Structure 1
Amino acid sequence: MLFFQLTWESFRFAITALKSNLTRTVLSLLGVTVGIFAIIAVFTLVDSLEGKIKSSFAFLGTNVMRVDRFPFASGPQDYPWWKYFQRPPGTFAEYKFLEERLKNAEAVTISASATATVQAGSNSYEGVALSGIAYTYQNVYEVALEEGRYFTESEINASRNLAIVGKKIANILYPNQSAVGKEVKIRGMKFTVVGIFEEEGEGFLDLPSKDEACLIPYGAFSKMYYTGRNGLEPTIAAKGMESDIGLVALENEMTGLMRAKRGLKPTQEDNFSLNKTEFIQNAIGSIFDVISVAGWVIGGFSILVGGFGIANIMFVSVRERTNIIGIQKSLGAKNYFILFQFLFEAMCLSLIGGITGIILVYLLSFMPLGSLDLILSFTNIILGLGVSSIIGIVAGIVPATLAARMDPVEAIRTT
């Protein structure tokens, strides 16, 4: 109990010292405030930007393997670029072949896309991302609906003229009323709207958004657009099992089946690429890791200056209170009592600076930045407070130790 009482008294002494030199206190914490603000602001911006970009790529799905002609990553250095163009595109027959035989996939689907204009009466919406899909599309990609329903398997197989449209499209074509059950025209063909996507909001970096998308059965899409080598290329995608080796097993199995379906001999190279959608997210994460390091460097210099400022002030404070330290020690004050006084004072200075920097970042998050929302995470708050505490301890430990080791007689004599 005595230890805790003395610790509390040390803390009170520290607060009193800070209050008695308010101007010096404010000037001392500015360096830490600027440093913490720089680091946490960069981290908040990076986290928010990374999250926004990754969410914008959500249309690619998660844990998904795609069959494409071109690889997401750069291929072998000696591989001629023109060979990629000679590769055949995926086909509906290959989709059915994989769907029947893949054992390491939760689902397999095929889709083809085009840009179209959707009309309803005198209203129209241009630049719609129109996609023809298989029934299994919902099992590979997320299809979140605000109104209506998804297609039934029989409707897909029968190539019915049905559509699921984005929120923006529905609002433009049928303002002030629900579009579900209404008719729209696509390339002169009538489609009945059976569902409306959940609103996603404004897209980022002009990436596709469900608000401007339209899904129709693959068969209906094929009636309007030619798909194949000289037409629109369909994309075959498979969702891997939820396990550590799920995508690895799926990639190996898909490679073998695609080579068998295309009749490739053992000595022939693959004429297709299997792309993991996580590649893009990992690439984005690597870029922002570099930016985070830059944030540490920028903020680190400010914190370093702030730490030296606090240390300098603490040495001055020890010098000013040398007589008081001698009197306290002559009355029986323990060394750790004196140590804690100055250590707590340094930590309080640094923490106040850190909290001020975090508050400034929080206020910054209310600034409008277009479609980007700055979000100050709890992790970044803890990081800021932790860095502040460490800076306070490092900056205050030497002056506090010198004060604790003073000889009481020599300290009282000091003028």
Structure 2
Amino acid sequence: MLFFQLTWESFRFAITALKSNITRTILSLLGVTIGIFAIIAVFTLVDSLENNIKSSFSFLGTNVMRVDRFPFSSGPQEYPWWKYFRRPPGSVAEYEFLKERLKSAEAVTISASASTTVQAGSNAYQGMQLTGIEYGYQDVYDMPIEEGRFFLESEINASRNLVVIGREIANTLFPNQPPIGRELKLKGIKFIVIGIFEEEGEGLFDAPSKDEAAIVPYGAFTKMFYTGKNGIEPTIAVQGKEEDIGLVALENEMTGLLRAKRGLKPTEEDNFALNKTEFIQNAIGSIFDVISIAGWVIGGFSILVGGFGIANIMFVSVRERTNIIGIQKSLGAKNYFILFQFLFEAVFLSLIGGITGILIVFGLSFIQLGSLELILSFKNIVLGLGVASIIGVVSGIVPATLAARMDPVEAIRTN
């Protein structure tokens, strides 16, 4: 109990010292404020950019493996580029083959996309991304429906002329009226609207958005567009199981099945690429890791200056209160009681600076930056407070130790 009482007294002495020197306190914490602001501002911007970019690529799905001709990552340097073009695209036959035999997959689908114009009465929307899908597409990719419904399996198998459209298209074609159940035309063919995608809003870098997209059954799509070799190439996508870390089992099984389906001999190389959608997200994460390091460097210099400023002020504070230290020790004050006074003072100085820097970042997060939404995460708040606390301890430990080790007689004699 005595230890906690003395610690509390040290706490009170530190607060009193800070209040008695307001101007010095403010000047001391400026360096830490700027440093914490620089680090947390950079991290907040980096996190917000990374999350926004990754969400812009959400159309690729998560835990998904695609069958493509070209790999997402660069292949062997000696691999002739023209061999990629000679590879056959995926086909409906391969999709059905994988769907029937794959055991390491949650869902399998095939899709093909084209840019086209959609019309409804006198209204038209140009540049819409139209995708033909097979059943299971909604299990591979995130397809939130805001109004209406998704396709039934029987509707996709029968290639019904039904369509699910994005919010932007719905607002353009059917202003001030409910779009569900209404007709629109694709390539001169009538389709009935059965659903509206949940609105996504504007993304960075003009990434594909469901607001400007529509989906129809794959069979209905092939009536309007030629697919396959020398046409629009379909993409086979497979949703892996959560327990399959890195989709290793799925990749091995798909490789064996595709080689068997395409009749490749053991000595022949693969004529397909299995791409994991996480590759793009990991690549984006690697880029922002480098930017985060730059943020540490930029903020680190400011914090270093702030730390030296706090240490300098603490040495001055020890010098000013030498007589008081001598009196306290002569009355029986423990060394840790003296040490905690100055250590708490240094930590409080640093924490106040850190909190001020975080509050500035929080205020700046309300500034509108177009489609980029700045979000100060709890992780970055904890990081800022943690760094500020460490700087306070490091800056105050030496002057606090010197104060605690003073001889009471010599301290009282000091002018």
Q: Name the counterpart of 1:4.
A: 4
Report 1:6-405 matches (<5 A): 6-245=6-245, 247-405=247-405
1:50 & 1:42 partners in 2: Cα distance? 12
- Whether the 8 Å CA contact 2:36–2:299 is kept in 1: the answer is yes
Deviation at residue 136 of structure 1 after TM alignment: 1.3
- Aligned partners of 2:163, 2:2: CA distance in 1, in Å? 76
Q: Is the 8 A contact 2:111 2:131 kept in 1?
A: yes
CA–CA separation in structure 2 for the residues paired with 1:325 and 1:180: 80
Structure 2: which 5+ residue stretches go unaligned? none
Q: Distance in 2 between matches of 1:203 and 1:412?
A: 68
Whole-angstrom distance in 2 between the partners of 1:58 and 1:374: 19
Aligned length: 415
- Contact kept? 2:52, 2:203, Cα under 8 Å: no
Cα deviation, residue 6, structure 1: 1.4
Q: Report the equivalent of 2:410.
A: 410
CA distance in 1, matches of 2:408, 2:242: 68
From the superposition, tell whether residues 244 and 106 of structure 1 become closer, same or farther in structure 2 (CA, over 3 Å): closer
Whole-angstrom CA distance in 1 between matches of 2:318 and 2:156: 81
The alignment partner of 1:205 has SS state of helix
- Answer yes or no: is the 8 Å Cα contact 2:339–2:401 preserved in 1: yes
In 2, distance between residues paired with 1:273 and 1:241?
20
Change (3 A) 1:354 1:89: same
Aligned-pair CA distance for 1:246? 6.7
CA deviation vs aligned residue, 1:95-121 (integer Å, no higher than 9, x gap): 111111111111110000000111111
Q: Report SS of the residue matched to 2:118.
A: strand
Distance in 2 between residues matched to 1:5 and 1:267, nearest whole Å: 79
Q: 1:306 to 1:52 in 2, by over 3 A?
A: same
Q: Residues of 2 paired with 1:301 and 1:244: CA distance?
A: 44
Greater shift after overlay, 304-313 or 325-334? 325-334
In 2, distance between residues paired with 1:54 and 1:246?
18
Q: Distance in 1 between matches of 2:8 and 2:246?
A: 56
- Alignment check: 8 A CA contact 2:244 2:250 kept: no
Instruction: Report the Cα offset of residue 244 of structure 1.
Output: 3.6
C-alpha distance after superposition, 1:343-397 (max 9, x if no partner): 0110010000000000001001011111011111111111111111110000000
Q: CA 1:245–1:389 in structure 2 vs 1: closer, same or farther (change >3 Å)?
A: closer
The superposition leaves residues 121-156 of structure 1 with CA deviations (integer Å, 9 ceiling, x where unpaired) of: 111111111000001111111111001111111111
Kindly provide the amino acid, as one letter, of the partner of residue 285 in structure 1: G
Q: Report the identity percentage.
A: 81
In the aligned structure 2, how far is the partner of 1:3 from the partner of 1:229? Answer: 81
Is the contact between residue 181 and residue 194 of structure 2 (CA under 8 Å) also seen in structure 1? yes
SS of 1:30's equivalent in the other structure is helix
Q: Which amino acid aligns with 2:351?
A: L
Q: Given the two structures, how large is their TM-score scaled by the length of structure 1? A: 0.99
TM-score (norm 2): 0.99
Amino acid at match of 1:92: V
Contact 1:228–1:234, Cα closer than 8 Å, also in 2 = yes
The RMSD of aligned alpha carbons is 0.9
Cα distance per residue 1:156-196 (max 9 Å; x no partner): 11111100000111111111222110011111111000000
Equivalent position SS for 2:236: strand
Structure 1 residue runs of 4+, over 6 Å off? none
SS at match of 1:111: strand
Shift of residue 245, structure 1, vs aligned partner: 4.1
Shift of residue 17, structure 1, vs aligned partner? 1.0
Contact 1:104–1:246 (8 Å) recurs in 2: no
Deviation for aligned residue 1:16: 1.2
C-alpha distance after superposition, 1:33-69 (max 9, x if no partner) = 0010011111111111111111111111111110000
Is the Cα–Cα contact under 8 Å of residues 15 and 345 in structure 1 kept in the other structure? Answer: yes
Partners of 2:203 and 2:51 lie apart in 1 by 13
SS in 1 for 2:204: coil
User: Does the Cα contact within 8 Å between 2:326 and 2:410 map onto a contact in 1?
Assistant: yes
Q: Secondary structure at the match of 1:341?
A: helix
**Structure 1 contact 240–246 (Cα < 8 Å) conserved:** no
1:12 partner SS = helix
Matched-pair contact (CA < 8 Å) for 1:116–1:129 = yes
Q: Check 1:315–1:245 CA distance in 2 against 1; reply closer, same or farther (3 A cut).
A: closer
Question: What letter corresponds to residue 143 of structure 1 in structure 2?
Answer: M
SS in 1 for 2:67: strand
Q: What amino acid is the match of 1:393?
A: V
Cα distance between partner residues in 1 of 2:16 and 2:246: 61
CA distance in 1, matches of 2:399, 2:374: 40
